[in-house]
Structure 1
Amino acid sequence: MRAGLIVIGVVLLAAGVWITIGNGSYKQTDTVAKLGPAEITATHQKSIPQWVGIAGIVIGGVLAIGGFVSKR
């Protein structure tokens, strides 16, 4: 359990830093027009909001510290 908390915390911490420095993004595809069987789609590159990265850093840090400090 202790090692699991540490691993999850470090992964969340790393993902949070990656998102916060601006490298986190995803693609969203929208249907622009549809006429019968034909349709026109557009793909947009959107960035993940910075608050998600900050939340990942905070939660990952708490989990990692909790894993290191927990007594057994």
Structure 2
Amino acid sequence: MKKEYDFAKMQAVRNPYATALKKQITIRLNSGTVEYFKAMAKEVGIPYQTLIDSYLTDCALSKRRLNIRWK
């Protein structure tokens, strides 16, 4: 490994995967829901936020819709 690198002659290149990057948001979830996903994530050995993201991505890709009826 070099002691110093010279980046002056290099051109910047856009990240080709930038559109696939995740977006950070704030979301409020019931504590029971979070605990459910944390327990499931521990079983399968992945972070719970990754599990929630995977589940929501699956819902979006399959165009799953809730059947909600307000009284």
TM-score band by shorter chain is: under 0.3
Q: TM-score, normalised by structure 1?
A: 0.27
Question: Which structure has the higher relative contact order (CA within 8 Å, separation 6+)?
Answer: 1
Q: Which structure shows the bigger proportion of residues in helix conformation? A: 1
Q: TM-score, normalised by structure 2?
A: 0.28
Q: Which structure shows the bigger proportion of residues in strand conformation? A: 1
